[in-house]
Structure 1
């Protein structure tokens, strides 16, 4: 006589919001990796039925986890999931799009304003050298209103940035794969024109083979003197060495970077030496509220798969046939 079947296992590479864990607890055992590293994920995720992804998955994981049904991205970007290997193994890939787009857009606005008003220098000198030293930077600050904002990538994040830009009286230009679907009031332009005419360039595009290295040395040089660059997409979209060189020669007015070619960012990176650069540790889309939205969205997709349904936001439909072979009842 056999005992009751053990509950399925939902493995997460990182902690998720407690409300999301509550949703999962009634249907599965929830396990968090001891460390979000390749080694820990490979060693600990072998018995997972579903993985919630907040750190890069090793491609070999899909051969090492025979029960794995789905990899669900905690957020929108899919570059942490080796989709080709997942599809070959018959593992469904899903994500939670759009839920943190307003959060990222708020970060973009915060960063632009901080650059224009020289916040880092004001705060540093006020604390270190007193009132008048901090206040002296005000004469060299700039208004945001009336400037031209260039958005590279008009997905959920780009559209959220545009909505917030409207409240600041900004002119908006965008480059996108689908120019016919741009919101009212957004001008379409090719990338070179956008770089040449924008006072602030915001990178919101996903990392793909086409966007890797998109903001190259030559394209950085085309940007307006004194322009600002804000990157909330992925670090590899920008030629980081070229950006550092351009910041050194003073061509750009500054940059706000939330993502980097190598993460975590090397503490010895030259980027730390610039007063006109704002650095954040890949947190533009993370707040208490957005963590809850992403966590609950990922939990819903995980539970949907465990109940025998396909994910609502399935990103590799070509895996379904192989998935049905592996799990005929699900």
Structure 2
């Protein structure tokens, strides 16, 4: 069908999602996510499914664009205000990777507090007794305190698993005060950092959260406490974290997000002790990728039919919904 709309995929999608779209549209997968590549391919695009950051001026290069769908949750990859000004609906998929990211957070805490892979390596290299000795200083996470910064969908799931699955006490801090889920004690940020044995960052990146974890807040943490970041890199002052890790004033950290992505191979983070690094993969499993791809495909098909997506994030894209 020569008149089929063209959909730009910034990255490949799960075959089950692509199978929903292929009868209705021509799919074009970007060979890379460089801004110039995405701008060039957007010229013929009727829709964009987003897994990588779009250039802020992408709408200026996409005269046929009818909708943008985030293959995931975070909207910082999409220039929502510019799309709204052009009358272009934007959708995302809240909850689509909640379990995946929550499981990552608890796995990271366990990896830092009970490093089984290091014990395995020591057993293979040095034998039974040296490896067994590594267990002596380790502590259980049950009965300790978890602080969750950003108790939304993902943060709430992390809190529930920690409380119900591991018997942890859970503290929460959120921009919306007074709305903690059951079993989560609301705490001021400084109090949360001072009392927690592990801190998980699941908050969005805003002007208020940029650099939220700085030298001062890291200095409030217990010497054995660990921090896990699955939000966005700039929520942590990276230089401050490097100082804390190298000075061993905190117990460790796990980072899935960074100021610059991909993380350059010569980045100083690679030399930091007690640091677990992953390539922005907390939300990626075969399960979540299938869920997100199908969800993104269904939302894009609604847009192509002229309907609003279920998870429309900018209803003011229609003139009648814009604020006076």
Partner of 1:84: 81
| Cα distance in 2 between the residues matched to 1:322 and 1:216 | 43
C-alpha distance after superposition, 1:56-114 (max 9, x if no partner): 10122101111101111111000111122222222211100111011001011111111
- Two-structure CA RMSD over aligned residues (Å): 1.7
Aligned to 2:217: 219
Secondary structure of 2:240 counterpart: helix
Q: SS state of the match for residue 131, structure 2?
A: helix
Q: Tell me, what secondary structure is at the counterpart of 2:135?
A: helix
Contact 1:63 1:89 in 2 (8 A): no
> Matches of 1:69 and 1:322 in 2, distance apart?
18
Which residue does 2:181 correspond to in 1? 183
Cα separation, 1, equivalents of 2:144 and 2:80: 40
Contact 1:91 1:323 in 2 (8 A): no
Aligned residue number for residue 41 of structure 1: 38
2-structure distance, mates of 1:263, 1:28? 31
Is the CA contact (8 Å cut-off) linking 2:150 and 2:201 kept in structure 1?
A: yes
- Secondary structure in structure 1 of the residue aligned to 2:178: helix
Q: Secondary structure at the match of 2:166?
A: coil
TM-score (norm 2): 0.95
C-alpha displacement at 1:5, in angstroms?
Answer: 5.5
Counterparts in 2 of 1:124 and 1:230: CA distance versus 1, 3 Å: same
Structure 2 match to 1:28? 25
Q: Quick check: 1:90–1:323 contact (8 Å CA) kept in 2?
A: no
Deviations 1:179-238 (A, max 9, x none): 332111110011111111111000000112221111122111122222110001110100
Aligned residues: 321
Task: Provide the C-alpha distance between the structure 1 equivalents of 2:302 and 2:190, rounded to a whole number of angstroms.
Answer: 44
Q: CA deviation at 1:18?
A: 0.4
- Secondary structure of the residue aligned to 1:140 is coil
Comparing 270-279 with 280-289, greater Cα deviation is found at 270-279
Q: Work out the CA distance in 2 between the residues paired with 1:112 and 1:15.
A: 30
Corresponding residue for residue 267 of structure 1: 265
**Range 38-47 or range 144-153, more displaced:** 38-47
Q: Structure 1 pair 322/130, CA: closer, same or farther in 2 (3 Å)?
A: farther
Write out per-residue CA displacement over residues 274-297 of structure 1, whole angstroms, 9 at most, x where no aligned residue.
341111100001000000111111
State TM-score, norm by structure 1: 0.93
Displacement of 1:120 in angstroms is 4.8
